[in-house]
Amino acid sequence: MRRETVKLNAKGKVQIIAHRGMSALETENTAAAFIAAGNSSCYGVETDIYRTADGQFILNHDGNSGRICNENLVMTESTLADLQALVLNDINTGLPRNDLRLCTPKEYRDICEHYAKVCVPELKNDFTLEEIRAILDIFDGYLDKTCFISNKMDNLDKVKQLCPEQTCQFLSSSYKDVFPTYLKEHGVGMDIAGWALTQERVETLVDAGIPVNVWTIDDPEAAEQFIRWGVSQITSNILEVI
């Protein structure tokens, strides 16, 4: 079955971040999903970084492979080699497709750079300072086109400790009144669930100088509303600006 992006007439008004790659078209967090995003008009490509059992890094959202693969391995309890040997399922057929594999951050970064897309990697584990340093090294030379996100402020603080000017966003599924001050103190932007936002909350953040990225919005009418409210980025599985 052929799948296509949903077009949003908002060029110059908002930046679209492809959620786990163009994940409505291809299995999430795979090279196929990242390439599909690369061939779209999206501004950036989001992904998720986990530590493996042998101290390497792999891209996966759930922390295990069971939802996207017939074999269920836990990222932090498996070696990189074992994880990359998994054959993931095609989202159309539900069957294994040999080219669909878990990616490393380096493979993801290379695809984003090839298509001139901004990298938006989520830091999933509680990473040590040395692990954050290793992740920054992977993106070295492309850090000006990278925005790290995490729901763990300690991860972002470590990024800022090593690279003070690095763009980061704090990820949250809820809104707190302290956010404008809190985020400004840490020097990071806001990456927040759509259900947690109101126009007043968006305006409060923007007035405080905090850029707002809203997730995960696939409905064009909802996207248009958030644009009117003043968000600067929309994370989506399917939307593409024209």
Mean pLDDT of the chain: 98
Q: And the tokens for 8?
A: 């949003």
- Nearest 10 degrees: CA dihedral of 36, 41, 45, 46? -100
Cβ–Cβ under 8 Å, residues 3 and 25: yes
What's 76's DSSP letter?
A: G
Domain ranges for the chain? 6-241
d(CA 20, CA 37): 9
- Nearest 10 degrees: CA dihedral of 13, 149, 172, 115? 40
Q: Is 75 a residue whose pLDDT tops 80?
A: yes
Instruction: Give the pLDDT confidence score for residue 9 in this predicted structure.
Output: 96
d(CA 76, CA 131): 14
Q: pLDDT tens for residues 212-225?
A: 999 999 999 999 99
Q: pLDDT tens for residues 171-184?
A: 999 999 999 999 99
Instruction: Give the pLDDT confidence score for residue 1 in this predicted structure.
Output: 66
Instruction: Give the pLDDT confidence score for residue 2 in this predicted structure.
Output: 76
The contacts of residue 72 (CB under 8 Å, 6+ apart) are 64, 65, 66
Cβ–Cβ under 8 Å, residues 120 and 149: yes
Q: pLDDT tens for residues 136-158?
A: 999 999 999 999 999 999 999 99
Instruction: Give the pLDDT confidence score for residue 169 in this predicted structure.
Output: 99
Domain 6-241 has CATH 3.30.390.10: no
Q: pLDDT tens for residues 98-113?
A: 999 999 999 999 999 9
Interval 3-18 mean pLDDT: 96
Q: Is 185 a residue whose pLDDT tops 70?
A: yes
Instruction: Give the pLDDT confidence score for residue 3 in this predicted structure.
Output: 85
Q: pLDDT tens for residues 119-128?
A: 999 999 999 9
